[in-house]
Amino acid sequence: MSNDKSNKMETAGASALDGRSGIAAKPFDVAAVRAQFPVLHQNVHGQPLAYLDNAATSQKPAVVIDAVRTYYEKDNANIHRAVHTLSERATSLYEGARRSIQKAIGASSSKEVIFTRGTTESINLIAASYGRSVLSEGDEVVISTMEHHSNIVPWFMLCEEKGARLRVVPIDDKGDLDLDAFAGMLGPRTKIVSMCHISNTLGTINPLKEIIRLAREHNVCVVVDGAQGIPHVKINVNELDCDFYAFSSHKAYGPTGTGVLYGKQHILEKMPPYQGGGDMIASVSFDKITYADVPAKFEAGTPNIAGSIGLAAALDFLEQLDYGVFPDYEDELLAYAHDQLQQLDGLRIIGQAKEKTSVISFIIDRIHPHDIGTMLDNEGVAVRTGHHCTQPLMERFNVPATTRASFSFYNTREEVDQLVAGLKKIMKVFR
């Protein structure tokens, strides 16, 4: 949400990275978009469903559901291991999905696209393989206060194992990263910087270009947790110049249990395998094992074939929907929701960064978030309550939990009004 488009483009990493081209946006037909999401057209407790939990998982368009169903109905077989027709078709679809995702994120080669179970596994892979190879006692890993547990715990475990130090960049009261503090933390012992692209709790869009520029001055590897990035901004990993970018399918309108780790090929080739098993080897004997080339080296066992096919369909759907159009609609919806919620007496929004997108976390005086979430469900409104896997961030703002409404391009002003009406009813009950 910003009145300065050019500033937002620079913050997210230029127009090629965030979908803002400066060209006048085409009208966004939210009704036509909603028609493509079957799950949205239902009642919950007798009320129209207002699904505002998109930061946890997004809903799936019919084209994704159809892609997964078609695979299971016509092409289901294991990949890479057989010469029969179904296996060849499944392999073609799976590797075609990899090439499609490579194109969607601007990677130089399909070898830089590794399929994982999601952002969590991707970051664990980086920590266990790359991190364990480069980190020594006394070295440092830098993260931020706003990180999801998936971008805290793997690094904490690695630092504990290696005798390294985990350093945490502070944020201000609005939820913006303290870039001066970040710059001051970088030094000769810094080996890895791992930051979220967009905060799942605050909606803060981190200035990746500047983060990476500062890290490069010290020759530091940069990992980006892009779980909340891909659904809202256009990514080009080459222009961004991060070393790793991780994201999950289920937050980007694809199936659950699937994700992608992008890594620069020359780095991946030097990393040891993360897991051992079938399909990640070149040869096996009891005396010697040689490993396959990337990406196979990091894809042990049978993967989520249908999930990868569904993810490729989801990213293609986003491209056709147009990153030059729907992010502006999401910004307008966020601005409207901010305005409406701020008018409620006793409600405080946690996180009002200069650059943010699609997430509002809030507390209401004397009403526990879990009560809010339960009572909103009775009004047909789905939100998330709790610490959102960001307990250190909750501590920073001195709150045990928040209620989080997170938006997608298929949400409407009417659903925001439904949220506000539900909150007014709850406040009346408690007061």
Q: Look up residue 156 and give its two tokens.
A: 């904490």
Cα separation of 24 and 34, whole Å? Answer: 23
Beta-strand relationship, 359-364 and 347-350: antiparallel
Q: CA-based angle 116:269:222, to the nearest 5?
A: 70
Residue 416 near residue 46, CB atoms below 8 Å = no
Catalytic residue among 159, 196, 221, 389: 389
Helices 305-321 and 85-105: crossing angle, nearest 10°?
40
Contact 55, 390 (CB under 8 A): no
Longest distance between any two alpha carbons in the chain, whole Å:
73
Phi-psi region of 298 (alpha: psi -120 to 50; beta: other; left: phi over 0): alpha
Measured between alpha carbons, how far is 370 from 349 in angstroms, rounded to an integer? Answer: 16
The string of DSSP letters for 199-210 reads -TTT-BB--HHH
- The contacts of residue 395 (CB under 8 Å, 6+ apart) are none
Round to whole Å and give the CA distance between 353 and 12. Answer: 13
Residue 384 C-beta-side C-alpha neighbours within 13 Å: 22
Q: What is the dihedral of CA 240, 169, 56, 15, to 10 degrees?
A: -30
Q: What 3-state class would DSSP assign to 360?
A: strand
Is residue 220 within 8 Å of residue 191, measured between CB atoms?
Answer: yes
Would you list the DSSP string of 208-230? HHHHHHHHHTTT-EEEEE-TTTT
Q: 117-151 burial, b for 16+ CB within 10 Å, e for fewer? A: bbbbbbbbbbbbbbbeeebeeebbbbbbbbbbebb
Quickly tell me which residue has 């005396």 as its tokens.
Answer: 287
- Whether residue 223 contacts residue 194, with contact meaning beta carbons closer than 8 Å, is answered with yes
Instruction: Determine how β-strand 113-116 pairs with β-strand 47-48.
Output: unpaired
Residue 350's DSSP bridge partners are 361
Q: Is 389 tagged catalytic? A: yes
Tokens of 426: 């709850």
Catalytic residue ranges: 389
